[in-house]
A = this chain, B = another copy of it.
Amino acid sequence: MAIEDVRTEPRNPEAAATVISILKQQFGEKLQTGKAFRAQHAHTTTYLPPQLPDAVFFAESVEDVKAVVKVCAQHKVPIVPFGTGSSLEGQINAPEGGISVDLSRMNRVLEVNAEDLDCRVEPGITREELNTYLRDTGLFFPIDPGANASIGGMASTRASGTNAVRYGTMKDVVLAVTAVTADGEEITTAHRARKSSAGYDLTRLFVGAEGTLGIITSVTLKLSGIPEKIAGGVSSFKTLEEACNAVIMTVQMGIPVARIELLDALQVKACNAYSNLDFPEAPLLLLEFHGSEEAVALQSGQFAEIAAECGGSEFVWTANTEERNRLWKARHNAYWASRALEPELEGLSTDVCVPISRLADCVSETQKDIAAEGILAPVVGHAGDGNFHLLVLFDKDKPGEIERIEAFTTRLAERAIAMGGTSTGEHGVGQGKKRVVAGELGGALLLMRAIKQALDPDNIFNPGKIF
């Protein structure tokens, strides 16, 4: 998509110019105003048009963050926090211009407390960098949203991913954050204790706030022990219902699967072609088990029985690392496999989440809608959580196509909400889901607005997102 300088409501350009001049003088090269920098910091991974900031500020310390917030607050100029730019709903777009605060240079590990299974990191470190750093400690950071996102960004969108069914989402693994708030000062939401009842849960208020309440400057994370053994396997099912029944039984029996992913027939077809696999073109479950040798054998055996009972193909599991990696690489490449179905089309990635008892219904009804619309949209899901994704392929140049796809994704969100679910399990609201959250949240949205207004009265932090 061409980089355009689209803004919905540009804010006071004089104020932005003043802030840029102050920051330039104080910070020199840390502030960049060139089009290439600004374009890099507007959104490029969604169907939404990029909306460029007026400048990009590369923060290197908490003091830098405080300084930029103080200047922007004084002049009421927007601040858009930026990690790696992998968010999917326009979270890093700058619809009112302002300063993109790039945190990628704040990527240090501040402390690792191996005995307590926790660490504290700067927000710009990516999950892969963190896991590389941790390699020799016997510990790992389990949340895996696919992209090599920054920890600050993952906290801000309440990210999760393939192994949330076992290890939880960012809300479960973030013990505390520090953040610079609208007055330019840093607060600490909590300390390292595993639990606390000391006042409002500000930690989880910042987790998922999408940068609208402040800039996260460090994140204290729970870590997990690297499992002694990892085993994985697949089972193919004739119908979505059968596959979903196997998921429900697995969860109900309390088998602690680390991953249980659902691919629909079209997604399997795409992955077969892209990753040179030969699974039957039918609903497929991919599983992974973590634990001691005995534990993974036990769990795999229990799942094999469930798969057989639900009509699945024989569940063959392996602890062989190479085979397992090949399988999960194919899963991680599902996005590119889907794009490769029609390389000239654009892809819109969307997600919803429903109670698992409604997963088969929600996917089936969505597939009917896909067929009726005549669009290509493979389904891949974190089935253990009832969370699934569509990659909707579309021709952005076809008149009315974006509107048609938006109407389709609105129906998807409304379908999920009607089933007791949510319009987004892990991508966040950003700009893309604003049109559906009002229906989902009702009066709760008024409370959120009141909180936003109380903590950021001039709306400097990531304006135009969530609300």
Q: Which A residues form the contact surface with B (CB < 8 A)?
A: 113-118, 157-160, 164, 169, 171-172, 181, 185-202, 204-205, 207-209, 224-225, 227, 248, 251-254, 256, 291-292, 294-295, 298, 353-357, 385-387, 416-417, 420-429, 433, 437, 440-448, 450-455, 466
Contact = CB atoms under 8 A, between A and B. Distances in A.
B444 A189 contact: yes
Contacts of A193: 353-355, 385-387, 416, 420-422, 425
Nearest to A192: B420
20 contacts: A113-B357, A115-B248, A115-B356, A188-B442, A194-B353, A194-B386, A196-B425, A197-B208, A197-B425, A198-B433, A200-B451, A200-B452, A201-B204, A202-B444, A204-B204, A204-B205, A227-B254, A295-B295, A447-B455, A454-B454
This chain: copies in complex: 2
Contact of A186 (B251, B443, B445): B443
A354 B425 CA distance: 32
A117 B451 contact: no
A250 B194 CA distance: 15
Pick the most buried of A426, A433, A440: most chain B CB atoms within 10 A of its CB: A440
Given A116-B357, A118-B355, A254-B225, A420 B191 contact: yes
A440 B198 contact: yes
A355 B113 contact: yes
Nearest to A422: B196
A198 B437 contact: yes
Nearest to A298: B294
A451 B426 CA distance: 25
Contacts of A426: 195, 197
A306 to B, nearest CB: 14
Contacts of A423: 198
Contacts of A204: 171, 201, 204-205
